[in-house]
């Protein structure tokens, strides 16, 4: 792969800024989850309808991945990051002033567009800056930021949301996003200048052609199924614990063990995969995560039991995202570095479409069959992902 030469201190600064953006987006994105029952009651929106509010964010993330990937391959990474975080902040600001189902959808759609610009480009930047034997370490750094953002998001939403109200919280989070966007101007460009001579159509054709390979197809399906199951389970959990008599503040705290396991698991799996390969850790975490969700559907309504059992479902978020992404990047780098961002965009589109369907299907199953049945169905999706991960080939 052709790298833009960066001194060690510059690469460290890059990772710090990318980590700040990752933290910011996960913080604001997930603060809404423990507050969903409150928003539902205040705005008189049904649980199944509110699933679309959660889902539209990821739908926008999904369908904008390819065009943003093309733009990143053609014109560079830096300003995609800066503008992406700013647009995300605009959506959060609108959310804080939403008083209807339509305004909530609009706010989340705008935030989803901004997040698509950021996430697609941030993972590509890591691919630009690290070679095969260090790429797991680079992805692991972003995974740690994801974990901190996730823990903080659920805590801020659950605890501070109950104290100050959900509108105030999202006003603060919008201001934080604008600050991070401003700081991101200090990023260095990492895209190879050789991209300039290739048309967008050619890049897209080369990228889509890669999705005929078994490795990329299976890695994409694993990422999609796990994202669908984990996001769906996270959407159902606040309603499940509310029906069990657990407060909004406690709901936010329940997600903390999940976020810690997700973050530490992603970082550990990323580093381990540089030594033992990507496939073995991927098979293990999908099996463990699916089993944890299956067990979770049968635990008694106890705060500690719910938190402990749901924690290991996090193995199907951070570690799976990290490992499946590295499998994709490894394959693209071996084939054609010109299409890294474009291929990442296609991969993320499918993965986030799974995430978008998660809360929609979760809301329907929750209303019709109840939470336990919904959790069992989602666990089945993770076990299917484990089967696909077994079928992966490694060179």
Q: Which residues contact 293 (CB under 8 A, 6 or more apart)?
A: 229, 233, 310, 313, 316, 375, 378, 379, 382
Question: Does the residue 318 lie in any domain?
Answer: yes
First to last CA, the chain: 17
pLDDT for res 3:
45
For the chain, percent of residues with pLDDT exceeding 70 = 87
Residue from 141, 186, 138, 180 nearest 20 by CA = 180
How many whole angstroms separate alpha carbon 279 and alpha carbon 276? 8
Q: Calculate mean pLDDT across residues 183-203.
A: 67
218 SS3 class: helix
pLDDT for res 240:
79
Question: Does the residue 40 lie in any domain?
Answer: yes
CATH of the domain at 102: 1.20.1250.20
Q: Would you say 326 and 135 are in contact if contact means Cβ atoms under 8 Å apart?
A: yes
Asked if pLDDT for residue 196 goes beyond 60, the answer is: no
Question: Does the residue 1 lie in any domain?
Answer: no
Model confidence pLDDT, tens digit, residues 231-273: 888 888 888 777 666 666 677 677 788 878 887 888 788 788 8
Asked if pLDDT for residue 199 goes beyond 50, the answer is: yes
pLDDT for res 296:
79
Which residue did the predictor score with more confidence, 207 or 56?
A: 56
Determine the structural domain holding residue 249 and report its residue range: 8-185+194-390
Asked if pLDDT for residue 198 goes beyond 60, the answer is: no
Question: Does the residue 2 lie in any domain?
Answer: no
Which residue did the predictor score with more confidence, 98 or 65?
A: 98
pLDDT grade for 85, boundaries at 50, 70 and 90: very high
Indicate the DSSP class of residue 312. Answer: G
pLDDT for res 159:
78
Report how far apart, in Å, the C-alpha atoms of 371 and of each of 225, 242, 244, 321, 391 are.
19, 11, 11, 25, 31
Number of domains into which the chain is organized = 1
Residue from 49, 382, 46 nearest 233 by CA = 382
Burial grade of 137 (CB within 10 A; 0-12, 13-18, 19 or more): middle
Q: Would you say 123 and 139 are in contact if contact means Cβ atoms under 8 Å apart?
A: yes
Question: Does the residue 151 lie in any domain?
Answer: yes
Range among 21-25, 36-40, 197-201, 334-338 with highest mean pLDDT value: 21-25
Question: Does the residue 240 lie in any domain?
Answer: yes
pLDDT for res 5:
45
Question: Does the residue 395 lie in any domain?
Answer: no
């Amino acid at each position: 792969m052709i790298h833009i030469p960066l001194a060690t201190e510059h690469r460290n600064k890059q990772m710090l800024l990318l980590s700040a953006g990752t933290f910011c987006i996960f913080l604001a994105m997930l603060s809404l989850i423990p507050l969903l029952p409150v928003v539902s009651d205040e705005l008189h929106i049904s649980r199944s309808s509110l699933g679309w509010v959660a889902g539209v964010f990821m739908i926008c993330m999904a369908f904008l991945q390819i065009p943003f990937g093309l733009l990143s391959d053609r014109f560079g990474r830096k300003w995609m990051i800066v503008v992406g975080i700013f647009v995300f902040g605009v959506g959060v600001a609108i959310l804080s002033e939403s008083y209807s189902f339509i305004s909530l959808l609009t706010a989340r759609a705008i935030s989803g567009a901004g997040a698509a610009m950021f996430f697609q480009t941030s993972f590509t930047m890591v691919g630009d800056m690290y070679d095969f034997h260090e790429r797991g370490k680079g992805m692991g750094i972003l995974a740690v930021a994801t974990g901190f953002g996730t823990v903080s998001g659920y805590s801020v939403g659950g605890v501070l949301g109950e104290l100050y109200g959900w509108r105030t919280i999202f006003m603060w989070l919008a201001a934080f996003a604008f600050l991070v966007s401003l700081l991101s101007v200090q990023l260095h460009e990492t895209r190879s200048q050789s991209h300039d001579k290739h048309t967008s159509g050619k890049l897209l054709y080369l990228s889509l052609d890669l999705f005929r390979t078994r490795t990329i197809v299976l890695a994409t399906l694993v990422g999609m199924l796990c994202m669908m199951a984990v996001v769906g389970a996270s959407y159902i959990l606040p309603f499940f614990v509310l029906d069990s008599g657990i407060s909004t503040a406690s709901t936010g705290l329940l997600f903390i063990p999940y976020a810690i396991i997700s973050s530490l698991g992603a970082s550990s799996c990323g580093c381990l995969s540089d030594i033992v390969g990507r496939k073995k850790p991927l098979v293990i975490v999908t099996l463990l995560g699916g089993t944890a969700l299956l067990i979770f559907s049968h635990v008694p309504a106890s705060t500690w039991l719910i938190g402990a059992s749901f924690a290991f479902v996090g193995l199907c978020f951070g570690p799976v995202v990290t490992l499946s992404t590295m499998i994709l990047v490894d394959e693209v780098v071996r084939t054609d570095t010109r299409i890294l961002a474009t291929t990442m965009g296609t991969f993320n589109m499918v993965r986030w479409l799974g995430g978008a369907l998660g809360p929609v299907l979760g809301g329907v199953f929750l209303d019709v069959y109840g939470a336990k049945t919904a959790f069992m169905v989602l666990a089945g999706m993770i076990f299917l992902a484990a089967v696909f991960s077994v079928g992966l080939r490694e060179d």
